[in-house]
Structure 1
Amino acid sequence: MRVLFEDVVPVAYGQFYVVSRELPDMTKAFAGQVNGLCGAGEPGALFLMTGTHSGRVRLRVELHEREPPAAADEWEEVVEAPFVPRGATVDLVPWGDGTLAPLPLIPDGPETGPLPTFRVRYCAAGMDEGRDPFGGFDPDTLEDDDYTYMDQRPDRYLLCFWPDDAPDGAGGGPGGGPVDGFPRPDAIVLRTSRAAGYWHDWASALPAPPSLWEQVEAARRERQEQERRAEEYRRRDEARRWGGRPPGERLRRVVGNVQGIARLDRDLVDGVAGADDAVQREIAVWAARRAFAHAGIADLDWLAPAWTALRHGRPLPAEFTDPAALFARISDRHEAGGHEPGGYRIVAFARRGRGAAPSLGAMLDAPVNPVAMAVPALAAAAGPDPLQAALEALWAATTTFGTRRAEFLAEVRREFPVVDSAGPG
């Protein structure tokens, strides 16, 4: 037997602890136990109760190689509980303070493999007397600065540890070590005082902690609920981005700048998606021409190769594939010819910064440079996916028309009646 600690321990709120890492939670420490003095419900920690509410109590901590003999008659309260440390050394910790003393349960240092399960015996004497704030001292005889009653508390305690892995009957104790690999449950060996009885009754009334199976089931249900919420959020977000309802599989495969037109006119988007590839390609080329015409740049002579390529379904010549370079070239020609557009600004349709985002209608009503809005329609109309080409070209044309977008969208339906009869894609 080794004495690991023998001194006074400061206590507050009638408690102190033995911990491997974190301090234990009081309710979790005692839930499912019959005893209310030594809470061992949280792995690696012990929650220990005293009769003294605030003061310093005598404590002795012993480490035994095997189960010690029964507690001596001097002790009025005796309880036992299992303890699984998370390290070779644990700490004795007062309430609201740091480590008071290390308690090396494996003196030779950490062992390879799992740490042993220990059995602890917590003995107490004088708990009822300890509940007296002055511990038997007459407060009328104490000077104002006399705190003797805090240091000379009437209650005292013994905490014993031993490995609980001996074969049944070893060490003279009943029951020996764990049964079927599980530590023996806690037990009240001796119950005498009203103070101890109060805590035993409190602990036994706590609801039992969930079983391992219940914990696994709870984790599974929580995971399923998280997955359900994530899927629901994904569906709602997708519906919002696509104008109020989820897209079909054909639309969902489309990438690029197509969700603006979906938010503005989802019925039109579904109609275009339901048309065949040839009609979608016609819509793309037509929308690009209408955007350029509205911007006043459709009949520039040097754009003829681009329109010819679109009309025959061929790739655009390289000089027409970069919208930024094309816009710069058109702007230079306008300035050289005295046709520089004035009173416009280029606007970004992506939300930036904080605050409420403007509505789509408010953004489309802003004054813009129609040339800048129309130019992306050319490259969009030449895209490899006919549906994406049509939707991106329609969006570019819509932004070009700006406040007159309703006229343009009505013109699309007149020019291509199939978009009002085709089903969603």
Structure 2
Amino acid sequence: MFPSWPMKFRRRESSKSGAEESTDSGSALIKPSESPVSTRVSSGLRTRATAAAAAGDSDHKHNHLQPPQPPLQQSHIEMESGSGSPSPRAGVSHSKSAAKQTTEKTLRRLAQNREAARKSRLRKKAYVQQLESSRMRLTQLEQDLLRARSQGLFLGGGVTTGNISSAGAIFDMEYSRWLDDDLGHMSELRDAVQSHLSEGDLRVIVDGYIAHYDEIFRLKGVAAKSDVFHLITGMWATPVERFYLWMGGFRPSDLIKMLIPQLDPLTEQQLVGICGLQQSSQQAEDALTQGLDQLHQSLLQTIASSSLNDSMHHMVIALGKIANLEGFVRQADNLRQQTLHRLCRILTVRQAARCFLVIGEYYGRLRALSSLWASRPRETLVTDDSSCQMTMDLQSSHNQFSNF
């Protein structure tokens, strides 16, 4: 009826002491009411429980000798966490590194903001100083003009401070500053030529002098937009410079004629290039002069043909024609600038340095001649009474001729 027990449990049961058997038998004797079958069942159950307890003790001893192994599921999770998603410790370290990067980025941004603010303050300070310097220069310029007017230096020019526009006064101030810088560039270039610098060092100085001339052409372009008449009449220049003025500047062909004897010796190729540049400059000058003459005639006809009824209409047309004058001045300045750049490409570095030295000394002599003319004795204008009488006789004869 009951399943047989395994053999190991039977061996363990036989190896037990006989005390349990006697106890079981004694208990069987004490309880006569139990049947033999129930006695066998209960003894079998007790034997089974005892065997299980013995097996548990042996397993406990075996497990005590070996180190504990982690559960399969937990080791599997740890393997997956090592190969896949970060562990909690890795997440904490990642959050710390992210916070550190954010802090460094914030500090870097704050440092950049402080540096930008410092540069802005420096620019503002420099701008304020420039405005103050410009105001002082403008005040000095006005005083010089008033003093020149009181001394009669602008005879026949009719120049007063009231007739100069604000744009013209600003250009005069900038031109005065450019002349001061020109003296510094001339001194540096002269020292470089005399000290026999290398080609590379001399090239840097020559390029700086070319940029210096580009600056005056830029200033003239700005002034032409605001007050082209102030620029084209040359009231910003000295009287002798105005004598050689052409559309607000020098004639490129005349400048080349002056430079050729000063730049000897020239190679045959250089001479051909300079002569071709002079010829092309002369043709461009003739074209601009012819266009300016046509503008003069057209403006004269527009003003002369206006009547009382449509005078306003003709004045509007005349204003449109005067606006074309800015284009002529700008083209003339472009021709002058291109001539200087092409000269530097034809010449060597040392020849270009000598070229700029000759140009600077030429204009320095023109300004010196103007100063001598302005400071000449005023008594030479009216020498004696005989010259005054001669002037009166000439005027009377002219009046008599005009009556006929």
Q: Report the TM-score, using the length of structure 1 for normalisation.
A: 0.22
Structure number with bigger Rg: 2
Q: Report the TM-score, using the length of structure 2 for normalisation.
A: 0.22
Structure whose residues are more often helix by fraction: 2
